[in-house]
Amino acid sequence: MQQQPEAIITQIFPDLPLGRWAQLVAITVKQDDLYTVCTQLRQHPSLDFDMLVCLTAVDRTTYLEVIYHLRSTSRNHDLIVKTELNEAQPELPSMVPVWKSAELFEMEIYDMFGIVFKGHPDLRRLFMPEDWEGYPLRKSYNANEVADNYLKSHQLLINQ
Amino acid sequence: MENIIGSQIIQSSDDEFIINVGPQHPSTHGVLHLQLKLDGEKIVDLKPFLGYIHRGIEKMSESLNYKQFIYLTSRMDYLSAHINNQACCLAIEKAIQAEVPERARVIRTLMAELARLTSHQLWWGSTGLDMGAVSPFFYAFREREMILEIFEETCGSRLTMNYCVPGGVMNDIHPDFVRKVKQIIKQFRDNLHEYDELLTNNPIFQSRTIGVGYLSREEAISLACTGPVARASGISCDVRKKEPYDAYDRVTFDEIITTEGDCFARYKVRLEEMKQSMNIIEQLIDNIPAGEYRTKIKGIIKPPAGEYYQRVETARGELGIYLVSDGTNKPYRIKFRTPNFSNLGALKPMSLGGKIGDLVAIMASLDLIIPDIDR
Amino acid sequence: MDVVQKHFEDFPGEVYQDKSGHSSIIITQIDRFANWARSNSLWPLIFGTSCCAIEMMSAASAKYDWSRFGFEVARASPRQADLIIVAGTITLKMAPVFKRLYDQMPDPKYVIAMGACNITGGPFMTHSYSVVNGIDKIVPVDVFIPGCPPRPEALLHGMMKLQEKIKGMKAYVIEKPKK
């Protein structure tokens, strides 16, 4: 069964607000401290979070929330790290030097939300075509009627 | 922005040769587009291009209510469609704190293990087909059709059976279910030696897979690989053991872990998992508890505002569902953490330095389903 | 095709006769022979994108066996195939690739749209931003097979319908289905 790392987290990071996200222990980190906190989480011997299980984002209309779900295979505990971003200019440092699984996750988030990860080796649109405009998973994006416009503009319709 | 965004083709010098594998290719198991930079026949660089089957399931789920989005997940990893539906139902039941009757739990587990068997059978057949052997394909489908008949009689459909609902299963099993499942398991156990004779002990297959595509334990953890890919590299990550759900806490089975980390090890792990699935089915099939098959849930599901997380073990790895609810009858945001998405990251380190023929063997052993990556 | 409406006293429905279908006895015999040969040896292209591809593989395997109808040789290259069974959703990124595959196939070529996704967009018709709602927007389709996914027997039924359709066509004149 999974264990909860609350005690160790409060010991090593005493000034980070601790909470719960879906019954997992969660800490909220500011944008500028994110890289140092994540490197410490990876390398500290009693934490040893060596797997980035998932990296996702939620559009909360006033701000963008980015969520890192970390797991330690040796200590058998999970942790959630949250940051909040401004929608006007969302930027974050890339976690690829720390966990290799971040490469594909960050490309997907750039494609769907428009968050730029500085230092990523190959940041490009992953799912949508290269010349797509807009970020589909934002709440302000309207999903209807974009498909026919794309087909028309690329001369793919049969009776054009 | 220009210097951060990566280019769409690989940069190359004059001596190197760039070819495209896919999107339409007999061995890519779907629409996966790879660009390879070759030096002779050795692979120097590899770049995957995705999105050819991206249907926007996560965005669509925000416009459908809680009972409707479950059936879109059948189309993500369609070979373990039942397990995907089971994960969604478990997440919703966790959110509304519904009690599932014991009979429904056991039925769901039985169908999940049968789905895992069909998925591994199809994997075995297509592995043989990729290596050039055509007979394993027909042998695998012979067994698979028998199980699909059971699915059709119980759920109504062969592939995308929408059998799980929040609160239990949609309909009770028919009276002949137990006898037929026992017959299939007995027949499959008797035929399993044919699988070994055709592929496992075949010298051509062994020379194409032993020592090919090595993935070390540290690299597999860093890439967040799960499922048989990680278990063949020595990581213990079976969700059915770590966080048992449904009826997995009352069955005993082994978690198959090897340390070689090459294609043959992944092959052997999946063959052994088939045997363990049959053990689980045999333990449960005679003791299906009597009772209701479904609890009554309100017509409109409105979980309280907050976040919920559930993970299950599909045939390919760990599927995680992150559900963010704002108190209305439609989900605010759903994220599917699919196993194939992270397993794809292991393709590049395993194939660099090898030949193109090894790339086909590695893709067959990774067992990727591309709609699961693209969602 | 020129069509003229005829009236029959004892038949209650409407009858349309194709004027241009009148040919000499030699051409019709050649047509019959060529259509018989073509319909009984259609070679499909291996093109499966998602779930319907699994039911296509089931139709190719031993229980439902499509090779008894002549579809034995499934080719990987579009230059050697004359039937494309579109199994699986076509998205916007895949649409130019699919159109290029269709253009590379030599005439006479036929298209079967398998599954609900290729008829109208299927379960992804509304609220999705990247699915083509029906491939008959991109290519002319001969046979539509409904289902999600259609059973292998439904696929065989659709293929046999295509064989009947070919037997009724003119063999050496390219006839594209009307929009």
Question: Measured between CA atoms, how close is B355 to chain C, in angstroms?
Answer: 21
pLDDT at A7 over 90: no
Contact C132, A151 (CB under 8 A): yes
Condensed to tens digits (0 to 9), the pLDDT of residues C153-167 reads 999 999 998 998 888
* Chain C neighbors (3+ CB pairs < 8 Å): A, B
Give me the pLDDT at residue B4, please. 38
**Integer Cα distance of B106 and B112 in angstroms:** 10
Q: Is C96 on the interface with B (CB under 8 A)?
A: no
Q: In this complex, do B344 and A104 lie within 8 Å of one another by their Cβ atoms?
A: yes
Q: A160 pLDDT band (50/70/90 cuts)?
A: low
Give me the pLDDT at residue B3, please. 36
The residue among B158, B155, B145, B154 whose CA lies nearest residue B187 is: B145
**Integer Cα distance of C104 and B313 in angstroms:** 42
Write out chain C residues lying below 8 Å of A150, CB-based. Answer: 92
Number of separate domains in chain A: 1
- Nearest by CB to A101, from B1, B51, B342: name it: B342
pLDDT at C177 over 60: no
Q: In this complex, do A147 and C92 lie within 8 Å of one another by their Cβ atoms?
A: yes
Write out chain A residues lying below 8 Å of B337, CB-based. Answer: 53-54, 56, 69
Which residues partner with B314 through β-bridges? B317
- Nearest by CB to A51, from B8, B63, B224: name it: B224
Give me the pLDDT at residue B109, please. 92
Give me the pLDDT at residue A49, please. 87
| Type and span of the H or E element at A77 | strand A77-85
Condensed to tens digits (0 to 9), the pLDDT of residues A12-55 reads 777 788 888 888 888 888 888 888 888 888 888 888 888 999 99
Contact B334, B308 (CB under 8 A): no
pLDDT at C45 over 50: yes
Contact B39, B16 (CB under 8 A): yes
Token pair, residue A24, equals 């997992």
Mean pLDDT of chain C: 83
Token pair, residue B296, equals 């009554």
**Integer Cα distance of C79 and A54 in angstroms:** 43
Domain-embedded: residue A131: no
Range of the domain at A20: 5-124
DSSP code of residue B355: B
**Integer Cα distance of B338 and B334 in angstroms:** 12
Contact C77, A133 (CB under 8 A): no
Contact C78, C105 (CB under 8 A): yes
Average pLDDT over residues C16-28: 65
Count Cβ neighbours within 10 Å for each residue of B83-110 and write b for 16 or more, e otherwise.
bbbbbbbbbbbbbbebebbebbbbbbbb
**Integer Cα distance of A42 and C24 in angstroms:** 83
Pick among B33, B55, B161 to test the C interface (most C CBs inside 10 A) = B55
Q: Is C124 on the interface with A (CB under 8 A)?
A: no
Pick among A28, A56, A103 to test the B interface (most B CBs inside 10 A) = A56
**Integer Cα distance of B238 and B223 in angstroms:** 17
Q: In this complex, do C92 and A129 lie within 8 Å of one another by their Cβ atoms?
A: yes
| Sequence spans of domains, chain B | 17-374
Token pair, residue A21, equals 């996200």
Which amino acid, one-letter code, is at C65?
A: D
Give me the pLDDT at residue B5, please. 42
Give me the pLDDT at residue B301, please. 87
| Type and span of the H or E element at A91 | strand A91-93
* Chain A neighbors (3+ CB pairs < 8 Å): B, C
Contact B73, B319 (CB under 8 A): no
Condensed to tens digits (0 to 9), the pLDDT of residues C93-144 reads 889 889 999 999 998 889 999 999 899 988 888 888 888 888 888 898 989 9
Q: In this complex, do C55 and B158 lie within 8 Å of one another by their Cβ atoms?
A: yes
**Integer Cα distance of A1 and B241 in angstroms:** 8
Token pair, residue A131, equals 């010349």
**Integer Cα distance of C69 and C39 in angstroms:** 9
Give me the pLDDT at residue B26, please. 78
Pick among C45, C47, C49, C99 to test the B interface (most B CBs inside 10 A) = C49
Chain B residue whose CA is closest to C53: B30
Question: Measured between CA atoms, how close is C66 to chain A, in angstroms?
Answer: 31
| Residue in the structure block whose two tokens are 């990581």 | B235
Domain-embedded: residue A144: no
A91 φ/ψ angles, rounded to the nearest 5 degrees: -140, 145
Interface of C with A in 77-96 (CB under 8 A): 92-93, 95-96
pLDDT at C178 over 70: no
Pick among B20, B24, B143 to test the C interface (most C CBs inside 10 A) = B24
Please give the model's pTM, rounded to 2 decimal places: 0.89
Write out chain A residues lying below 8 Å of C138, CB-based. Answer: 151, 156-158
pLDDT at C64 over 50: yes
Domain-embedded: residue A40: yes
Condensed to tens digits (0 to 9), the pLDDT of residues A49-107 reads 889 999 989 988 888 899 999 988 888 888 899 998 887 778 889 989 889 889 999 99
Give me the pLDDT at residue B108, please. 92
The residue among B346, B372, B361, B368 whose CA lies nearest residue B129 is: B361
**Integer Cα distance of B258 and B123 in angstroms:** 19
Domain B17-374, CATH 1.10.260.40 — does that match?
no
Cis geometry, peptide bond prior to residue B23 (ω within 30 degrees of 0): yes
CA C10 vs. chain centroid, Å, equals: 35
pLDDT at C3 over 70: no
**Integer Cα distance of B108 and B82 in angstroms:** 8
**Integer Cα distance of B292 and B297 in angstroms:** 13
Which range among A13-22, B356-365, C13-22, C50-59 shows the weakest confidence by mean pLDDT? C13-22
CATH for A113: 3.30.460.80
Domain-embedded: residue A129: no
The residue among B128, B124, B118 whose CA lies nearest residue B149 is: B118
Question: Measured between CA atoms, how close is C23 to chain A, in angstroms?
Answer: 31
Which residues of chain B fall below pLDDT 70?
1-13, 28
Q: Is A53 on the interface with B (CB under 8 A)?
A: yes
